[in-house]
Structure 1
Amino acid sequence: MSEAPVAAPSPPVDRARRSTRRSDRRDARRLVPFRLAGGTLVVWLLLAVASTSWWPIHRDGAMVTAAATAIVLGTVVALLGAVLRLPTAVVAIATVAAFTVSGVPAAVPSQANGLLPTGRGLVDLFAGVALGWKQLVTISLPVGSYEALLVPYFVTLLVATVTAVSVATRASRQELASIPALVLFAVGIVVGPSRLDTSIVTAVVLVAIALVWALTVRHVRRAVAVATTIGSRVPVARSIVRPALVGTGTIVAAAVVATGLGLVAPPSAERTVARTDVVKPFDPRDHVSPLSGFRSYEEQDTADAPQLRVSGLPEDGFVRIATLDTYDGVVYRVGGSDGGTASGTFERVPTAVDVRGVRGTTVDVGVTVEGYRGVWLPTVGDLERVDFTGAGADETRGAFFYNDSTSTGAVIGGVDEGTSYELTAVLPDQPTERQLASARPGDAAVPTARDVPDAVRDTVESTTASATTPGAKLLAALQALKRNGYVSHGVGDDRTSRSGHGADRIQELLTAPLMIGDQEQYAAAAALMADELGFPARVVMGFTPGGDAGGAAARGASTEKGGTTTFRGSDVTARIEVDTAQWGWVLLNPNPTVREIPNEQQQTPQPVTRPETVVPPPPVDRQDQDQQAPPESDRNTPPVQPLWLQILLAVLPWALGVLGVLAIVLLPFALIVAAKRVRRRRRRNAPTPRGRIVGAWDEYRDALLDRGHEVSGAATRREAVAGAPGAGGTGLAALADRAVFGPNDPDATTADRMWSATEDAIGTLHTGRNRRERFRSAVSLRSLRRPGRVRGGRGQGPSGRGDYSGPRPDERRGRPSEDRGTP
């Protein structure tokens, strides 16, 4: 009597099961398009909201183009991977290929040839992946599409799109796809501006969308699980829609409360982001103060020499060289004592400087450098845009840095003859003298002056006694300098006048019977006096027609036909800027008009209210201002590069581009070989001898697959080697079967012998094959992508695993371990 009819299901039950399986497959086919479309659309929404944190960085339409390109290509790569069930390595390779093909037109448009990349563009593209981040946090914002600074955003968005869409369409927990969008948003905050340009509402909306989606996906997953368990459909409205709406309402309410709190009590201080802590590439403290070389412009060989040619400058315009706000008793310099002040932070200017808050007149000025030398770039007003022209314009542009708080520009390596550029700037509106009398001190932060001589306070007290308001006191102090001072540069037949503006020189200027000096001393003294009155003050050095010498100047700037002004060395001057509560920084001229200096015997000594204070000499490590390098020194001028180095620098970008293309082409093959090596090492280092033996067999079987031999996933080991090329396969199959199903556990010696035989057998597979065929076997993906290569085959390990570290087959059938050898 056979038991088969009893065990077999009845035909109606069998038909019912087949009908249920067909129904499940139809439902699965219907769910896949909905999952692909729904997950992709939600990811797009998340990425679009997250990209808003990058807008303050670029503020340019090129960012929109880069975003659309990255999202579309990333979605195509991810959906192809989901539909074709491609391995992660293949998806990663496709992502790199998409980045290479589209990166230059999308992220480095200035180096693209239409829609095709160029060699220089590819070099900049891949260099931007590694170096663009540092450049991004050391440059003023916004950057637009300057150089390759769109690359960090493009590559981050591309990777985020591929990852998020892949997770949303392939992973068991779709809600994890919101993590790449959150990371994209956070990265934009970190590399963005220190001020709060990204709205709090945007951050709350992004988190709310992610939470709503996670809640909805969770209810869908639970409904599917319930339907599978009970074998019937679950009402969508009751099981998914209603709970999702309730949760969404809760999340929206929490979002409204969080947004309200953020708007009512916003952060009072600037954010700490990457650009606030990064080490800036240009440190003004590394360079000599330009004011210390003031007298060198008045020397006989430079006073008449042309320094700058400027076109478009308004009448009596002022060309700024540098703004100096730090006084240490020896010299006025830029950047504070430790470089941590706002004036010490110089950044690259990619497109333009934000001057929307400056009220004034916009001018376009052209500058050509002739005799002037130095690291400080002459500018006008508050700079908005600069465009370098002529030979070496690209190099000069890359070396240009700007400080917005002091309106001071600098070029690493300095400028030399022939440097030319176009400036667009705003000349701030200035108050009249009557309006200035009512001025109040502003709240700008400048470094505290050190070692200020007592004569500054005494002079302020004696000259401002009759004034009542801070603005009137400031005007009275400056007018006293103009009224009592005489101009002498200490050259030629001029009355002897020491150079420098240290504490001892300012003390001498303010206490001598005759106040004799030049713009260097008067500007320094005026800035210290303004600071004594409570006005934040700084010294500004530059050029102006006549050098603030008045109508008595024998030499000065000449204005040519066409409105071009040539500034000579004698046109150098120094003024001060004071910060007022009403007009911001105001440029003031404290210098006396050039006039004849009387004999000292005819003058009545000026009363001094307090005895002269002996100022101690400066420390040894301070540089004597009289020994500062003159501006015409070429110490900042880079040496001429040898011919071989010029050739190397010209060829290097193309060589790097070719190497980059070769690396991209070979990268997929290297990844495949590396994956196979990792798999081989894992198999050979299995924790048990039995696992190592089975790993050796798996290595041989994968070599057969890569060789082109067809191996069925359900074939036994002996069936797998039937008709296989090479030699030794039959012995390997027998040894592996004996290790798995034999009565005793194999030892380490047997495992070593199995691996040695496996290596010999794999070596015979390449016998008689040429180099191309061996390469194709080495980079073949058949052994990596073959489904069920471990599971489902007869004679495989427990639970379908290849390491065989679980219980033996006879142990799973309930036989005691001590009876394994019993037949």
Structure 2
Amino acid sequence: MSAAPPLRRRSARRADRASTSALLIGAGLLDLLFLIAAITAWPIYQTPAFVVVVVVALAAAHVIAAAGLRWRWSGWWVALATIGVYVLVGTPLAAPTLVAGGLDQILLALRGVVTAPVTGWKDLLTLELPLGSYQTILAPAFLLWLAVPTAALSLAWRTRRLWVLAPALGLALTAFGVVFGAPSVSPPVRWGPITVTGAREMAAGAAALLVALGFLVWRTMYERRRALRAAEAATGVRTTSRTTSATLGRVGISIGMVVAAVAVGTVAAPWALAGAPRQVLRSEIDPRLEIQQSLSPLAEYRSFFSDDVVDEVLFTVSGGGERVRVATLSFYDGRLARVLDPAAAPGDQSTAFVRVPSALAAPSGTRPESAQITIGGYRGIWMPTVDALTAVQFRGPNASSLADGFFYSASAQMAVQLGDPGLGSGSAYRQDAAVPTRLPAVADLVPGGSSPRFAPETVPESLQEWMRMQEAPAGGQGLQLLIDRLRARGYLSHALTVDQSAPPRWQADLGDYTFAPSRAGHSTDRIDALFSALVQRQNEVGGDEDARLVAAVGDDEQFSVAAAMIADQLGFAVRIVVGARLSGEDLPACEDGCRGGDVSAWIEVQDVSGVWVPIDVTPQWTAGMSPDDLQNRDPEVPTEVHEQDAEQVLPGEADPADAGDSPEDPGEETTDWSGLWSALRIGGISVLALLILIGPFLLVLIAKAVRRRSRRSAPAAVDRVTGGWDEYVDAAIDSGLPAPRTHTRQELATLHAASAPGSRATTLASWADRSVFDVAPPSAEDSERFWQIVEEERARLIADRGFWARLRARLSLRSLLRRPARTDRAAAPDRSEPRRRTA
């Protein structure tokens, strides 16, 4: 038997490459599919930076795929090159705004790019569209348009069967624009009597399917022609080709079927999906986060008038606008005025807070203004803003964390700051705003509805009775009259009890003021008590002289809810706003900074035209209440007060939810773990990024080590010997030698030894065959000596190679993915009839 010729390594035994023209045609069709996917994703970003990202990513993908084809890279090396290009090129390309900053911003950009495969989806779904080039928001797009084309081109150029997956990857990339896009489709297109809903999405989907189908048809025909040429070369028999008429007939039938399918889909899809909401991932994400868990801003109103806060500068505002808004409360459930609708379903976008990546469109009828806001002693998630926000730019050392935690509701025109650590002393930001050019007078307002929106059980009967007693007209004139009378017949008070020997600062600021007690809270019960007092006083005194009808005691917390109920009863859409006035004469306004005593609450009423008009509701404090009426004011629960140890106690009927946050015990010391938590979080992110990069390689090494250990520690000595042979074969395969097919051990060892002089493969094969087929099983010493030779052979296979070649052999998946030949074990009960052992 003649010696078999030396075998080349498997990397050199690939099938003949396709022609250059075939490679270019296949790449062109796939590139067209990738560009269609970019067009579908354009509405997500809408920035030239996205075009640059796509172009550079596609170019890099072609270079990596071509290099893998030229130098026969394994899948691991192609993946490693892709990861390297993603990190090195993606950092300046996908985070241009951060790289333009200092070293700390560059490190932040690098961290964002590395963690984007895990955390990037959150930014994609919580930012308001379009995303622009906000921070590292382009990193997921760069990763997709780099990794998917690299994989698709590698499959199309280098595989004989798996090329069918290449167009599937392109179609998956097209789905990115749909899954992460807006929850609404593009405007309908009308063509005579035909209306096509979502024409842009339909055109992109149809184009992608046609291109994918075209690639499959072309590649199938190309592979058929290659097979026919190979058969002709092997047999010398020429095959006959189809006639021109037959070819044209097949092509015509195929085109007709495709056109008919597209036409039917164009007509049937809009009809079948009419009225159905578009379900995308963005529809299921609710970024309200901590808002629902936070106490109502109106419930904390009185905390701004404590002696340690009333004169403290909370924030300063430099620039346009007449009011600064802290929170907008558009919902009332009878207990609290709330920012979010408690009855709204999760993911409801009508009151959603979203992140603003670049800028928002200014409403009509507004003029641009800008304001510089600097935080002083203010704390909380409710972020001060001026009018309708169009853009915001944070400044200072914590600008990045503030930008990450910034959420905005355009419908409520309010912002929240959920960053860590959030707003603090020295935090600053520049806000671009849209200020209304003209607001109509309250008397000229026209309600947009005819029925109240508040739940009937939340509106006390005393309010409706008081409104009937005023005999006010409808519309804006009635609203103006009722609000004026409510303020004139109310009396300002921020506390239930005070020490008259040392009155609080807010009382001293009011000048000649006579204190009247009023309890906090704005529940339906509290508002009922307010209007019951007004009704009782008017019934007792009569007439319409406001100075004699003063009976309702409270502050903006109660009067804003009362005024909102009045506006709602008249058919107006209404909301409550907590903030401060930047200018004014009769009411407190910010001077040299907004202090605690400048905080106010007012209502905003929507005209039928859609514009929101602010209305002040602060009660007067100059016309005092009569002595008889003071004796009947809050508290209604008898309370004995001692000046030395007096403390505020809520009445028995007060709703606990109306109270603000209870102050912490000053004597109780708590450990601040924020620094440790930040360090652990940064360390965890770093470890996660490291695991993402090297985790797959570690898994390969661990899997091979476990496999080797299980083979060497098999219970039977013959199993340890055959396992050692398998270990040698796997090492040879990973180093590039061919895998066994129908070869016996001796045949495979002879071929390996011929291609690698000095190999002891034949010794291992003879020993393994003797262990399997001999009558007597091998001893433990034999198996141990056999494994020593295996280890020496494993080291010899890669000894003459460079570092990267050795690393590639250790990380190769070829031995893990091969199908091992069927083996016979020495544990067979009858060893007298040995069978031929194959490798």
TM-score with structure 1 length normalisation? 0.74
* Amino acid paired to 2:135: E
For the pair 1:255 / 2:287, whether they are aligned, the reply is: no
Conserved? CA contact 2:734–2:812, under 8 Å: no
Picking from 165, 176, 185, the partner of 1:187 is 176
TM-superposed deviation, 1:45: 1.0
Q: Which whole-Å CA distance do the structure 1 matches of 2:156 and 2:717 have between them?
A: 41
Q: 1:394 to 1:764 in 2, by over 3 A?
A: closer
Q: Which whole-Å CA distance do the structure 2 matches of 1:139 and 1:334 have between them?
A: 20
Conserved? CA contact 2:334–2:523, under 8 Å: yes
Q: Which whole-Å CA distance do the structure 2 matches of 1:705 and 1:199 have between them?
A: 48
TM-superposed deviation, 1:587: 3.1
Q: 1:783 to 1:762 in 2, by over 3 A?
A: farther
The residue that corresponds to 1:158 in the other structure is: 146
Q: Which runs of 5+ in 1 are unaligned?
A: 1-27, 559-564, 606-615, 791-800, 807-816
The residue that corresponds to 1:384 in the other structure is: 390
TM-superposed deviation, 1:321: 0.6
TM-superposed deviation, 1:417: 2.6
Report the 3-state secondary structure (helix = DSSP H, G, I; strand = E; otherwise coil) of the residue aligned with 1:781: helix
TM-superposed deviation, 1:119: 4.9
Conserved? CA contact 1:557–1:567, under 8 Å: yes
After superposition, what is the alpha-carbon deviation per residue over 1:104-150, rounded to whole angstroms, capped at 9, x for unaligned? 12222345489x99654433222122112233323333332222222
Q: Which whole-Å CA distance do the structure 2 matches of 1:311 and 1:177 have between them?
A: 57
Conserved? CA contact 1:212–1:248, under 8 Å: no
Q: 1:717 to 1:285 in 2, by over 3 A?
A: closer
The residue that corresponds to 2:127 in the other structure is: 139
Picking from 367, 377, 381, the partner of 1:361 is 367
Q: 1:265 to 1:112 in 2, by over 3 A?
A: same
Report the 3-state secondary structure (helix = DSSP H, G, I; strand = E; otherwise coil) of the residue aligned with 2:320: coil
The residue that corresponds to 1:422 in the other structure is: 430
After superposition, what is the alpha-carbon deviation per residue over 1:501-537, rounded to whole angstroms, capped at 9, x for unaligned? 2222211222212234332222101212233334332
Q: Which whole-Å CA distance do the structure 2 matches of 1:702 and 1:256 have between them?
A: 55
The residue that corresponds to 2:637 in the other structure is: none
TM-superposed deviation, 1:409: 1.3
Conserved? CA contact 1:335–1:344, under 8 Å: yes
* Amino acid paired to 1:192: G
Picking from 718, 733, 748, the partner of 2:765 is 733
After superposition, what is the alpha-carbon deviation per residue over 1:618-652, rounded to whole angstroms, capped at 9, x for unaligned? 999x6343444599x9x9x995966x888x58996
The residue that corresponds to 1:71 in the other structure is: 58
The residue that corresponds to 1:13 in the other structure is: none
For the pair 1:108 / 2:95, whether they are aligned, the reply is: yes
Conserved? CA contact 2:362–2:388, under 8 Å: no
- What is the 5 A alignment of 1:219-230? 219-222=221-224, 228=231
* Amino acid paired to 1:326: F
Report the 3-state secondary structure (helix = DSSP H, G, I; strand = E; otherwise coil) of the residue aligned with 1:415: coil
* Amino acid paired to 1:148: T
Picking from 486, 492, 503, the partner of 2:524 is 503
* Amino acid paired to 2:259: V
The number of equivalent residue pairs is 731
The residue that corresponds to 1:15 in the other structure is: none
* Amino acid paired to 1:252: V
TM-superposed deviation, 1:218: 3.9
Q: Which whole-Å CA distance do the structure 2 matches of 1:34 and 1:727 have between them?
A: 43
More displaced stretch, 209-218 vs 366-375:
209-218
The residue that corresponds to 2:447 in the other structure is: 439
The residue that corresponds to 1:522 in the other structure is: 559
Conserved? CA contact 1:107–1:154, under 8 Å: yes
Q: 1:592 to 1:252 in 2, by over 3 A?
A: farther
TM-superposed deviation, 1:323: 0.7
* Amino acid paired to 1:596: A
Q: Which whole-Å CA distance do the structure 1 matches of 2:411 and 2:185 have between them?
A: 19
Picking from 586, 590, 597, the partner of 1:570 is 597
Picking from 297, 304, 308, the partner of 2:304 is 297
Picking from 749, 758, 767, the partner of 1:717 is 749
Conserved? CA contact 2:148–2:169, under 8 Å: yes
For the pair 1:543 / 2:575, whether they are aligned, the reply is: no
After superposition, what is the alpha-carbon deviation per residue over 1:671-706, rounded to whole angstroms, capped at 9, x for unaligned? 7746755886999999x9999987754643565688
* Amino acid paired to 1:141: L
- What is the 5 A alignment of 1:73-112? 73-112=60-99
* Amino acid paired to 1:779: L
The residue that corresponds to 1:52 in the other structure is: 39
TM-superposed deviation, 1:322: 0.2
Report the 3-state secondary structure (helix = DSSP H, G, I; strand = E; otherwise coil) of the residue aligned with 1:496: coil
Report the 3-state secondary structure (helix = DSSP H, G, I; strand = E; otherwise coil) of the residue aligned with 2:42: helix
Picking from 700, 719, 738, the partner of 2:728 is 700
* Amino acid paired to 2:791: G
Q: Which whole-Å CA distance do the structure 1 matches of 2:250 and 2:410 have between them?
A: 54
Conserved? CA contact 2:448–2:573, under 8 Å: no
Report the 3-state secondary structure (helix = DSSP H, G, I; strand = E; otherwise coil) of the residue aligned with 1:292: coil
Report the 3-state secondary structure (helix = DSSP H, G, I; strand = E; otherwise coil) of the residue aligned with 1:374: coil
* Amino acid paired to 1:202: A
Picking from 315, 333, 336, the partner of 2:341 is 336
Q: Which whole-Å CA distance do the structure 2 matches of 1:701 and 1:265 have between them?
A: 59
Conserved? CA contact 1:284–1:344, under 8 Å: no
Q: Which whole-Å CA distance do the structure 1 matches of 2:795 and 2:309 have between them?
A: 83
* Amino acid paired to 2:434: V
TM-superposed deviation, 1:331: 2.3
Report the 3-state secondary structure (helix = DSSP H, G, I; strand = E; otherwise coil) of the residue aligned with 1:319: strand
Q: Which whole-Å CA distance do the structure 2 matches of 1:251 and 1:488 have between them?
A: 77
Report the 3-state secondary structure (helix = DSSP H, G, I; strand = E; otherwise coil) of the residue aligned with 2:561: helix
Picking from 752, 756, 762, the partner of 2:790 is 762
TM-superposed deviation, 1:429: 5.5
Conserved? CA contact 1:358–1:426, under 8 Å: no
Q: Which whole-Å CA distance do the structure 1 matches of 2:40 and 2:789 have between them?
A: 58
More displaced stretch, 690-699 vs 197-206:
690-699
Report the 3-state secondary structure (helix = DSSP H, G, I; strand = E; otherwise coil) of the residue aligned with 1:310: strand
TM-superposed deviation, 1:540: 0.8
For the pair 1:803 / 2:821, whether they are aligned, the reply is: yes
The residue that corresponds to 1:320 in the other structure is: 325
The residue that corresponds to 2:401 in the other structure is: 395
The residue that corresponds to 1:557 in the other structure is: 590
For the pair 1:278 / 2:278, whether they are aligned, the reply is: no
Q: 1:356 to 1:240 in 2, by over 3 A?
A: farther
Q: 1:368 to 1:708 in 2, by over 3 A?
A: closer
The residue that corresponds to 2:807 in the other structure is: 779
TM-superposed deviation, 1:441: 2.6
Picking from 30, 40, 51, the partner of 2:27 is 40
More displaced stretch, 340-349 vs 317-326:
340-349
Q: 1:240 to 1:327 in 2, by over 3 A?
A: same
Q: 1:101 to 1:500 in 2, by over 3 A?
A: same
After superposition, what is the alpha-carbon deviation per residue over 1:398-455, rounded to whole angstroms, capped at 9, x for unaligned? 2322223312212234523322211111124665237844332399x98858533222
Q: Which whole-Å CA distance do the structure 2 matches of 1:48 and 1:731 have between them?
A: 58
Q: Which whole-Å CA distance do the structure 2 matches of 1:406 and 1:262 have between them?
A: 36
TM-superposed deviation, 1:545: 4.0
Conserved? CA contact 2:731–2:794, under 8 Å: no
The residue that corresponds to 2:190 in the other structure is: none
The residue that corresponds to 1:351 in the other structure is: 358
The percentage of counterpart residues that share the same residue type is 28
Report the 3-state secondary structure (helix = DSSP H, G, I; strand = E; otherwise coil) of the residue aligned with 2:209: helix
Report the 3-state secondary structure (helix = DSSP H, G, I; strand = E; otherwise coil) of the residue aligned with 2:126: coil
Q: 1:284 to 1:719 in 2, by over 3 A?
A: closer
Q: Which runs of 5+ in 2 are unaligned?
A: 1-14, 187-199, 496-505, 508-512, 538-550, 633-649, 825-831
